[in-house]
Copies of this chain bind each other. A is one copy, B any other.
Amino acid sequence: MYSLKLSNICKHYTGTLLFKDISFELRPGEVLAITGWNGSGKSTLLRIIAGLVRPSLGKVEMFMGDEPIPKESRRKFLGMVAPALALYDELTALENMDFFCKVRGIAYDRESCLNMMERVGLTENANKTCRNYSSGMKQRLKLVQALLHSPPLLLLDEPGCNLDSNGMKIVEDIILEHRQLGMTVIASNEKREVDYAERAINLSE
């Protein structure tokens, strides 16, 4: 059983305080939404959880059972989608997947990668370089990248951005499926996405 615990997280940039005293615990099966106006710090909070940004105060912990997971191996247990997280433009979608599998130490399996591609509707474009992908196609590929290693913690920053209604349906499926066993944090302005969450933290208050 995994769990995520944030205690008294606070972040400020040269003088302006973004948020302070964010504390919560998340357990498998729970979905947490983070809301707030543009620029309120949603993405920053997600990056803090992922370990990409250092909080000004407070700490982020992940536990496997009772045992804390050291910060440097936290990345194995989380998958992230965000507007600023780009994939490799000059590779094709399949090559991207191949790379992320290998680098994470998962045996690369063309079959299951193709399955995932099919799930997000990219089968036809799997061998096209990502530079020429449309905005929605890129977003779909990002979803695959986050799910590749079936992480117990999923961090979704505006997951439905650029997607058409089919794409939104895919995101919905992913969230519902992940809710069965894993932890999910969604940062979004879309009411539809926020509604999957039992709990919400509003950073604008």
Known: A13-B132, A43-B135, A135-B43. A162 touches B37 (CB 8 A): no
Is A37 within 8 A of B189, CB to CB? Answer: no
Is A137 within 8 A of B189, CB to CB? Answer: no
Known: A162-B83, A162-B158, A162-B161. A189 touches B136 (CB 8 A): yes
A125 at the interface (CB under 8 A from B): yes
Known: A38-B140, A125-B39, A140-B38. A135 touches B164 (CB 8 A): no
A166 at the interface (CB under 8 A from B): yes
| Contact among B43, B164, B165, B166 with A134 in the assembled complex (CB-CB below 8 Å) | B43
A167 to B135, CA, bound (A): 20
Copies of this chain, complex-wide, total 2
CB-defined contacts of A135 to chain B, threshold 8 Å:
38, 43, 83-84, 158
A114 at the interface (CB under 8 A from B): no
Query: CB-nearest residue of chain B relative to A125?
Result: B39
CB-defined contacts of A43 to chain B, threshold 8 Å:
134-135
Q: Mark interface residues in A153-184 (1 if CB within 8 Å of B CB, else 0).
A: 00000100111111100000000000000000
Is A134 within 8 A of B167, CB to CB? Answer: no
